[in-house]
Amino acid sequence: MMAAQDFNFLLATDSYKITHYKQYPPNVNKVYSYFECRHKKGGQHNEVVFFGLQYLLKKYLAGRVVTEEKIQEAKVFYQLHFKQSVFDEEGWRKVLEKYDGRLPIRIKAVPEGKIIPRGNVLFTVENTDPDFFWLTNFIEVLLVLFFRQFLKEANADIANVVLQCPNECFRN
C-alpha cells in the first residue's frame, strides 16, 4: 500500500524538530527511540490495548513518502515559518536519491491487539542507514499524535469489553 498521496510527511513534525539534524553530537550514526504508555499517578487503568500502528505505517509512512515536490513545499513552508533557511533540504534530497523517497527506518512493535501493562515499550524506531540518524526522532511527533487518539485512558475499557464479549455471546 502506498503512502497517502496528498500527505506531506515533511510537514508533520514540531517546529523545533526541523533543526535537530544540526544539534546531534559529531559521529552519531544510530538513534534508537521507543514509545511507551506511561504510568499515570492516580490513573484508573494500568493496561492499554496496542493497536493501530500497522494502519499508520501503511497509510502514511510506507512506500515513497519523500518527493521533490514535497521537499520544495517543505522548504518554502519552513522558510516562511522561521524567516530563515533551516530546513535540511540536502538530507531529504539524499533520502529521495538514495532510497527513492522511502524512509530508511526500522520499526518494531508488540503484536497489535495485545494488552500491555503501562510503562512497557510498545514500539521502537531506529535508523537503518548511519547517514539518516536524524530521521528516527523526526517521525516521533507523527507517531505520538496518532497514538494519543488510540491509547487514552478509555483504552483499557475497550479491552475489557472486547474480552468479555465472547463470554456474553456464548452465554446467550
- The domains located in the chain, with CATH, are 28-62+104-165 (3.90.1170), 64-101 (no CATH)
Quick one: how many helices (H) and strands (E) in the chain?
Answer: 6, 5
Interatomic CA distance for residues 113 and 158, integer angstroms: 11
- What sign does the dihedral 157-57-65-128 (CA atoms) show? positive
Only one residue has cell 524512509, namely 103
Asked whether the predicted pLDDT for residue 122 surpasses 60, the reply is yes
Burial (CB < 10 A; 0-12, 13-18, 19+), residue 95, is buried
Confidence of residue 14 (pLDDT cuts 50, 70, 90): confident
- Whether 151 contacts 115, CB under 8 Å: no
pLDDT in tens, 24-72: 999 999 999 998 877 776 666 678 788 888 988 998 899 999 999 999 9
